[in-house]
Amino acid sequence: MFTNIIGKDGFGAQYQKIIQTFIFCKANNLKFCYCPIKNMEHNYNNDINFISRIEILINLKDNIENMNIDECKQLDYGGVVLKWFEANIDKNCNNEHMKFIKDCFWKNKKRELIFNNNKINIAIHIRRENQHDKGRAGERITTPNEYYLNVMNNIRENNKNKDVLFHIYSQGNKINFKMLENEDVMFHLDEDIIKTFTELVAADILVTSPSSLSYVAALISDGDIYYKKFWHKPKSNWNILN
């Protein structure tokens, strides 16, 4: 029995490890067992139901055989699983095993009701410093607003005469994003991670930041992806941005 490395980091990083380890096991004829999440960062409101809500969000606990962590071998993620997954990323994101992950995610949600506004919905994730970073986030939080404004204007240009709506997901005060304000922009600041992640995945277009949260959303998204380069490899059909 094999499983993913168990950690206590944020949702994006943990979900990424689960997905990629699951696909690694399936592709290599190894028995994958799901070990329910025990710890996770970014529970800012100390919600006692936080982890159970995350389990409902990804919807794997009820769809994969569960085991206790001491009954499974944790596979080397950085040295084995991640390298293998990214070396074959297009194949791994388009096989039956990724389809299973996506099907589980959408099985308990009404996708058509998430935006339900007859617009082209563009989700933009802007990674900014949070209380768990403790000054160690580095360049991931320094991507300037000008970068996102340029991407937005490029999308506007590519969708002339279409009804677009930009949704900006981040943390902090709206005044910090003043240059991005426009009649076709909605701000979603410090919103619940369940809502945020679901909308990142559901958007017609997703603009990622250097973050596992929006990167893993891109992996399971069926939308058009504008990918900000960082240490995880993109799919070949994504729009690659520096």
Rounded distance, CA 11 to CA 39, Å? 10
Residue 124: its pLDDT value, please? Answer: 98
Per the structure, the complete domain to which residue 151 belongs is given by: 111-241
Angle at 65 between CA 90 and CA 35, to 5 degrees: 80
Q: What is the pLDDT of residue 127?
A: 74
Residues in the chain where the model's pLDDT stays below 70: 128-142
Structure tokens at 223: 């939308």
Token duo for residue 128: 């900014």
Residue at which a domain ends, from 73, 107, 141: 107
2, 32 Cβ separation under 8 angstroms: yes
9 and 76, same domain (yes or no): yes
Domain C-terminal end among 72, 107, 142? 107
Residue 82 is predicted with a pLDDT of 97
Q: Same domain for 94 and 152? A: no
220 and 124 fall within a common domain: yes
pLDDT tens digits, one per residue of 71-108: 999 999 999 999 999 999 999 999 999 999 999 999 99
Listed in sequence order, the residues at least 6 apart from 150 whose beta carbon sits closer than 8 Å to its beta carbon are none
Question: Is the domain of 79 the same as that of 124?
Answer: no
- Containing 220, the helix (H) or strand (E) segment is helix 212-220
Q: Do 120 and 198 belong together in one domain?
A: yes
How many domains does the structure of the chain reveal? 2
CATH number of the domain to which 123 belongs: 3.40.50.2000
Q: Which tokens belong to 125? A: 């994730």
* pLDDT the model gives residue 134: 42
For residues 95 and 23, membership in a common domain is answered with yes
Domain C-terminal end among 57, 79, 107: 107
pTM (global) more than 0.75: yes
